[in-house]
Structure 1
Amino acid sequence: MIKRSILAAGLATALFVAPAFADDRPPTPEERAQIEAVLAAEGFTSWDEIEWDDDGHWEVDDAVGPDGRQYDLKLDASFAIIARDPD
């Protein structure tokens, strides 16, 4: 009976903790290189955080565009820019 209680408690903990691991994540070095190449090709000169969003796209915060304005960007899984939201 005690073993079942411990097992049940462990399973319940795993169910509540597991979604946290599915949240946003930073890019791998290879992904970062591809994203940065796309940003540079589009004329962006600097940016802050890059992360994979659990909604299925990349997010780039505070990217400075060729016009000098800051944008929050979204890129699809193929690293194409799909949204530019001015800050």
Structure 2
Amino acid sequence: MALGLILGIGRAFRRKRTSSLDILTSKRSPRGFYKGKNCKPTGFHTRKGGYVVVPEKLPNYVVPDLTDFKKTPFVTGQHKGHWFCIFINAEEWDI
């Protein structure tokens, strides 16, 4: 009887230790937990359920001016499971 009780407690500790190492989901988390997808918020929620986008929080991409760039983008199809884009010289290929 005592041996069964000790073995049962040991099994419970072993089960609890392995389950605590699992990935944290909304089912195994505190109330109100939201994991998200690792993206930054672009605004805030209002009291009435709306959403206000703040322009300062939007991503700002700095792209160089390519109007006088000698090479043009050449996008090929899928090659061995990967998409790739290379720059070619427009004068050589008569594009």
Structure-1-length-normalised TM-score: 0.31
Which of 1 and 2 has higher RCO (CA within 8 Å, sep 6+)? Answer: 1
